[in-house]
């Protein structure tokens, strides 16, 4: 939980949250409303996640819209993005790259022109070059992003922030790179969902056995959305020193361990299809900067996070499978 001395900074202030009905954004909106902020929740989804926030239906690929929604804002959290499976990023790369570029460029420029007080941009682990251990200190701009199209879109937005600093001396934009985030409000569309929502969808749908690609050895860093939301607000408060911080759980977890954790509260059969690829062998984040710079301390256990996510999905299946999806267009 964020200390009251920090959350009070947002009390009575106008805060714009893009992607405010999404996986991370809804948690940010809730925490800001709890702090007494005047929150504008910007989204293309029709759903209302927190009635205390002002819901704004807006397409961020339109620059005039970005100028309008950021007017008179004290803070801005740019979290809007596009999520999808590895297969979808390969088959429909333009559906990732083009709208992401437009949203990021438009929103950040609108914030600059409207003199928004503090901004946090949510980048991604995919902006890193290929590696097993992601250390901010050793990140190289010369190495291309491992997630080609979405990674470049995020990296270019980070360069936009750096260009603002170099030309205008802008020091009010923080940047965070979350890892594999999961939780209530995730995208559970089986055609393009990530590993955790895909597994939950299959289990809840009664698939028997639940077939999992690879041998289960791939290692990931799974972070619960409410923890990441706290990290975003901490970054907004403290700043990230003209650089960025990782936001993960700080714990390694193999896909096999993930499945076994699901077995601790769910009854299902599963099998690993070793004829299919397992993906990158290991993707783990260094959390040193997050701890030292913004006092980020994720507290949710994997089991607790998975159980909360599963229960949310059972109650909100239509919403979970019906999110705004650029891949249908």
Kindly tell me if the per-residue pLDDT of 53 is higher than 80.
yes
Q: How far apart are the C-alpha atoms of 295 and 291, rounded to whole Å? A: 4
Burial of 60 (0-12, 13-18, 19+ CB in 10 A): buried
Query: pLDDT value at position 216?
Result: 97
Q: How far apart are the C-alpha atoms of 56 and 21, rounded to whole Å? A: 10
Kindly tell me if the per-residue pLDDT of 90 is higher than 90.
no
Question: How confident is residue 88, by pLDDT bands cut at 50, 70 and 90?
Answer: low
Q: What is the mean pLDDT of residues 291-304?
A: 97
Q: What is the mean pLDDT of residues 56-64?
A: 96
Query: pLDDT value at position 235?
Result: 98
As beta bridge partners, residue 246 has 177
pLDDT per residue as tens digits for the range 272-286:
999 999 888 999 999
Q: How far apart are the C-alpha atoms of 309 and 302, rounded to whole Å? A: 10
Q: Tell me what percent of the chain is helix, strand and coil, each rounded to the nearest 5.
A: 40, 20, 40
Q: How far apart are the C-alpha atoms of 271 and 216, rounded to whole Å? A: 10
According to DSSP, the β-strands at 14-18 and 75-78 are: parallel
Q: How far apart are the C-alpha atoms of 38 and 215, rounded to whole Å? A: 48
- Helix extents (H) in 213-301: 225-238, 255-263, 288-294
Kindly tell me if the per-residue pLDDT of 85 is higher than 60.
no
Burial of 191 (0-12, 13-18, 19+ CB in 10 A): middle
Q: Which of 222, 199, 221 is nearest to 212 (CA)?
A: 199
pLDDT per residue as tens digits for the range 241-256:
999 999 999 899 999 9
Q: How far apart are the C-alpha atoms of 82 and 192, rounded to whole Å? A: 11
Q: How far apart are the C-alpha atoms of 42 and 49, rounded to whole Å? A: 11
Query: pLDDT value at position 195?
Result: 94
Q: Using a pLDDT cut of 70, give the percent of the chain over it.
A: 96
Sign of CA dihedral 210, 279, 327, 161: positive
Query: pLDDT value at position 148?
Result: 87
Q: Which of 154, 209, 184, 136 is nearest to 310 (CA)?
A: 184
As beta bridge partners, residue 278 has none
pLDDT per residue as tens digits for the range 98-116:
999 999 999 999 999 999 9
Q: What is the mean pLDDT of residues 74-97?
A: 80
Query: pLDDT value at position 294?
Result: 98
Q: What is the mean pLDDT of residues 250-277?
A: 96
More confident call, 199 vs 146: 199
Sign of CA dihedral 236, 108, 39, 187: negative
Query: pLDDT value at position 327?
Result: 46
Mean pLDDT of the chain: 93
CA distances to 26, 34, 84, 235, 286 from 7, in Å: 17, 9, 32, 12, 26
- DSSP run (H or E) holding 206: none
Domains contained in the chain, CATH given: 4-328 (3.40.50.720)
Among 8-12, 41-45, 86-90, 236-240, name the one with the lowest average pLDDT: 86-90
Q: How far apart are the C-alpha atoms of 170 and 89, rounded to whole Å? A: 33
Question: How confident is residue 324, by pLDDT bands cut at 50, 70 and 90?
Answer: low
Instruction: Indicate the DSSP class of residue 295.
Output: -
As beta bridge partners, residue 212 has 272
């Amino acid at each position: 939980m964020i200390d009251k001395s920090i959350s009070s900074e947002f009390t009575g202030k106008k805060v714009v949250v893009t992607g405010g009905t999404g996986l991370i954004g809804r948690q940010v909106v809730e925490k800001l409303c709890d702090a007494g902020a005047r929150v504008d929740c910007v989204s293309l989804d029709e759903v209302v996640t927190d009635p205390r926030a002002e819901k704004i239906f807006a397409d961020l690929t339109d620059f005039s819209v970005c100028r309008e929604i950021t007017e008179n804002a004290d803070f801005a959290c740019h979290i809007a993005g596009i999520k999808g499976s590895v297969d979808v990023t390969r088959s429909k790369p333009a559906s990732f790259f083009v709208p992401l570029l437009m949203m990021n460029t438009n929103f950040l420029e609108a914030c600059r022109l409207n003199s928004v007080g503090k901004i946090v941009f949510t980048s991604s682990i995919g902006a890193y070059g290929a590696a097993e251990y992601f250390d901010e200190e050793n990140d190289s701009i010369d190495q291309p992003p491992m997630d080609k199209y979405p990674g470049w879109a995020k990296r270019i937005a980070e360069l936009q922030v750096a260009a603002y600093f170099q030309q205008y001396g802008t020091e009010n934009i923080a940047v965070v790179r979350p890892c594999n985030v999961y939780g209530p409000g995730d995208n559970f569309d089986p055609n393009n969902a990530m590993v955790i929502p895909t597994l939950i969808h299959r289990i809840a749908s009664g698939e028997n056995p639940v077939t999992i690609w690879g041998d289960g050895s791939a290692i990931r860093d799974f972070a619960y959305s409410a923890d990441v939301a706290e990290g975003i607000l901490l970054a907004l408060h403290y700043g990230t020193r003209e650089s960025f911080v990782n936001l993960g759980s700080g714990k390694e977890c193999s896909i096999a361990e993930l499945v076994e954790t699901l077995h601790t509260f769910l009854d299902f059969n599963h099998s690993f299809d070793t004829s299919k690829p397992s993906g990158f062998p290991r993707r783990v984040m260094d959390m040193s900067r997050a701890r030292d710079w913004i006092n980020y301390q994720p507290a949710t256990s994997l089991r607790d996070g998975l159980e909360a996510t599963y229960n949310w999905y059972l109650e909100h299946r239509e919403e979970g499978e019906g999110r705004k999806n650029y891949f249908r267009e």
